[in-house]
Amino acid sequence: MQSYEKYMQKCFELAKQGVGKVSPNPLVGCVVLDKNDNEISTGYHKKYGENHAERDALLKLGVNDAMGGTLIVNLEPCSHYGKTPPCADLIVERGLKKVVIAMRDVNPIVAGNGIKKLQDAGIEVIEGVLEEEAKELNEVFIKNMQEHKLFVALKTATTLDGKIATKTGSSKWITSSKAREIVKKLRSAYDCVLTTSSTVLTDNPKFDCAIKVLLDRKLKCNFSMQYFKTGKIYVVTSRTDLPKAPENVEFINVSEANNKLNVQELFEFLYKTGLSSVFVEAGGTLNGQLIEQNLADKIYQFIAPKIVGDNLAKSAYSGRDIEEISASKNYTIQSVEMYEPDVLITLKRN
């Protein structure tokens, strides 16, 4: 019995080459084996609107090359006429005898219809190979499709005691430059980066990202700061007396309660404009608000082997007031990676 896990793993690696380019579509990779189980082609979804992974892989072959072969793909082949014709039809046309998939498509237009099309044509379909990993790979797409909501990832860099700065605000640097390089890579996988005026005013960050969102309730930031020099920027405020702003800046008005902007309202707005995901890089107040409201789907927490040991130092998550440990917010660790001398813990919301 052939094991398809190594090919599925390869599909994931191929799919990841589309990170940052295919949103709001899923990350998909594909491997094709001939009738003797020799690998003859690979493909992946390269860019939004372009060929799906299966089509990319099959179109590299002669029309009869995949006859009697096996196609491995991390998402159920599509059955609909979208920007391209259905992949399931092409698989049938090319005479494959077997299709191995990791997960069913959660897009309601496809959801099982692709599998049915293949089976109706006499193709054997094997489901569920590395399904958990496949779901993690496409966690943004899954949340978008199932909940019609923006996927929210939060990043923080703390000391061993969970601090992001001393009581005076000193924070440069907690983690090493290697960890900060990794942050840039993580950020590039998301559609926009969200921060707050306090982070911009204390750190004066640039945040390389095509779309940036700034919570600035009282409009404290000055447009001449480095942050405003690149990208399209949404400034989120509850103020209605709006100043003149540079061309790349657009204001968004949301409501506020207890001196806090309504981030749920903001996320709904961002999702409606077509964004799928947001990467949050801010301080303890916004982080704490997102955690309290169960809005952070994922956390990337870098931990440096340093201890501040001062209870006035600033925490990565603040603002909650609980007595019982059972009232904690719980997350599940997805991975732990070492970026010497720091570690990165990646977690998802329970």
What residue ranges bind Zn ion (CB under 5 A)?
52, 78, 87
Nearer to ligand AOF by C-beta: 22 or 235? 22
Q: Which residues contact 292 (CB under 8 A, 6 or more apart)?
A: 319, 320, 329
Nearer to Zn ion by C-beta: 80 or 149? 80
Backbone φ and ψ of 133, nearest 5°:
-60, -40
Residue 75 binds to ligand AOF (criterion: CB under 6 A): yes
| Residue 175 burial by Cβ neighbours in a 10 Å radius (0-12, 13-18, 19+) | buried
CA dist 324 to 296, 316, 320, Å?
A: 21, 20, 12
Name which of Zn ion, ligand AOF, none residue 276 binds, using a CB cut-off of 5 to 8 Å depending on partner kind: none
Residue 86 binds to ligand AOF (criterion: CB under 6 A): no
Q: Give least dist CB 26 to ligand AOF, A.
A: 5
Name which of ligand AOF, Zn ion, none residue 45 binds, using a CB cut-off of 5 to 8 Å depending on partner kind: ligand AOF
Task: Please identify which of the residues 5, 13, 54, 256 carries the catalytic annotation.
Answer: 54
* Active-site residue flag, 133: no
Q: How many residues bind ligand AOF (CB under 6 A)?
A: 16
Q: How far is CA 126 from the centre of its chain?
A: 27
Name which of Zn ion, ligand AOF, none residue 72 binds, using a CB cut-off of 5 to 8 Å depending on partner kind: none
Residue 78 binds to ligand AOF (criterion: CB under 6 A): yes
Residue 26 binds to ligand AOF (criterion: CB under 6 A): yes
Catalytic residues: 54
Residues at the site binding ligand AOF, with contacts judged by CB under 6 A: 22, 25-26, 28, 45, 52-53, 75, 78, 82-84, 87, 105, 107, 110
